[in-house]
Amino acid sequence: MHTSITSFAPAGGATRLAVSRNAVSNKSSICFRSKSARSGGARNLQLNTVCRAGGPKQIPVVVNGAAGKMGRELVRAISQARGLELVGAVDVVHVGEDAGEVAGLDEPLEIPISNELPIVLTSVAQDKDRDGVLVDFSEPSSVMETFKQSIAFGIRPVVGTTGYSAKDLQDMVDYCDKATMGAIVSPSYSIGLAAMRQAAETAVFHYNHVEIFESNSDFSLDAPSQNAIITANNLSGLGRLYNKPPKGVTQGTDNGARGQLGEDGLRVHSTFSPGTLAEQEIRFSAAGEQLSFKHTVSDYGAYVPGVIMAIRRVVNIKTFVYGIERLL
C-alpha cells in the first residue's frame, strides 16, 4: 500500500489541515503544511560476548546533533540503555571531543564527536549482522539530506528535527517505500502527549466544541506548530463539524483572534512563552460542562523514553511512521 502525504492552501494563504492514511496501522496519519565497553566495564564486555555468540544483538545507534540539548540527553540515555549501543556521535561543534564528556557523563565513552556524517554511517553500515539506527536532532536545513543519506546506507532514521514541509514528508515516505525500510518521524517524542491525543480521539465524538491551545518556548517554530497540527489532524476527518454558532446566531468578526481555522471548524491557538518548553491543551465543551486534557513539558528529558521506544521499534518495521502515537 502506498502512503501519500497531501496538502493544500485555501485562498488567502491560510494554513489548513488534512488527513491521509497510514500504511502501517491503517489509521489516519498526519499531514501538515506551510556502551562502549569502558562505560559499562566488565558487564558490557560480557554482554558483547554473548551477542557475538548468537544471543540478542544490541542495536547500534548514531546520534546526529549529539552536542545539542536533546542530543546530550540521548547520549547519556543510549549509552546506558539495555540492548542499545552508542556507536557514533555527530555534530558541527565540539568536534573531536568525547561524546560522553560533552554530555556530562562521569567517564568518557571513547566516542569522539565527528562532523562527517557519511563516514560515521559508512562505519555502521559495514556491520552486516545488525540493523543500525540514526537518531537525528540536528538542524531543519539538513534534515532531508540526513534522511536520504541514512536510507542510502541502510541505516534506519528516527527523526526529531522539525521544520520539514509536506513535500519533504512525502519524499520521506517515497524513500522508505523504495528501500522497503522503516523510519519514524515525529515532532514530539513525548509519550504523555501521544497518550493525551489518544484520549482526545475518544472524547471528540461526544462534543461539538473543540479547540486546541499551545505554547512553545521556541520562537522560531511555525504557528501552529507541527505538534498542534498533528493533534488537529487526529481530530479532523471524522465526519464532524466543530464550533458552529448556535442556531439563529450570526458569528461576530473574527480577525484571527479566535485561532487558526482548520478543517471541520477546528481551531488552534498558538502562543510564545519562554517560561514553558512546550504545552498543549485540548478543550472540549458542551452545555453545562467542559473537559480539558493538558500536557506540559518542562525538561528535554521528557522526550527520551519516546526516542528509546522508537529506536527499538524502527528496526522491526518496513514502512514510514509519522507520530509516535502510532507506536503505542
> Could you tell me the mean pLDDT of each successive run of 10 residues in the chain, 328 residues long?
37 38 37 34 31 66 97 98 98 98 97 98 96 96 96 97 91 97 96 96 93 88 87 87 78 68 85 90 95 96 97 97 91
Residues 174 and 206 in one domain: no
Give 280's DSSP letter. E
Give 298's DSSP letter. -
Residues 50 and 82 in one domain: yes
pLDDT value at position 252?
64
Picking from 66, 59, 285, 323, the residue whose alpha carbon sits closest to that of residue 198 is 323
The beta strands (E) that lie in the chain are given as: 18-21, 28-31, 59-64, 84-90, 113-114, 133-136, 156-159, 183-185, 209-216, 260-261, 267-272, 278-286, 289-297, 320-322
- Which domain does 72 fall in, by range? 37-189+301-327
Cell of 122: 559508512
Beta bridge partners of 214: 270, 280
Residues 139 and 48 in one domain: yes
Give 312's DSSP letter. H
In angstroms, how far is CA 138 from the centroid of its own chain? 13
Residues 162 and 268 in one domain: no
pLDDT value at position 9?
32
Residue 96 lies in a domain: yes
Residue 3 lies in a domain: no
Residues 146 and 251 in one domain: no
Residues 181 and 311 in one domain: yes
Residues 208 and 177 in one domain: no
Residue 1 lies in a domain: no
Residues 185 and 320 in one domain: yes
3-state SS assignment for residue 292: strand
Residue 149 lies in a domain: yes
pLDDT value at position 16?
40
For the chain, helix (H) and strand (E) counts, in that order, are 9, 14
Residues 242 and 123 in one domain: no
99/105 Cα distance (integer angstroms) = 9
In the block, residue with C-alpha cell 566488565: 42
In angstroms, how far is CA 25 from the centroid of its own chain? 17
Number of domains in the chain: 2
Give 9's DSSP letter. -
pLDDT value at position 50?
32
Beta bridge partners of 60: 85
Give 155's DSSP letter. P
The CA distances from residue 117 to 2, 61, 72, 140, 159, in Å, are: 30, 13, 17, 16, 15
pLDDT value at position 82?
96
Residues 178 and 80 in one domain: yes
Predicted TM-score (pTM) of the model is: 0.80
Residue 24 lies in a domain: no
3-state SS assignment for residue 43: helix
Beta bridge partners of 113: 89
Residue 175 lies in a domain: yes
In the block, residue with C-alpha cell 540514526: 134
Residues 185 and 228 in one domain: no
CATH number at residue 79: 3.40.50.720
CATH number at residue 225: 3.30.360.10
pLDDT value at position 245?
76
Residue 22 lies in a domain: no
pLDDT value at position 92?
97
Residues 260 and 165 in one domain: no
Residue 275 lies in a domain: yes
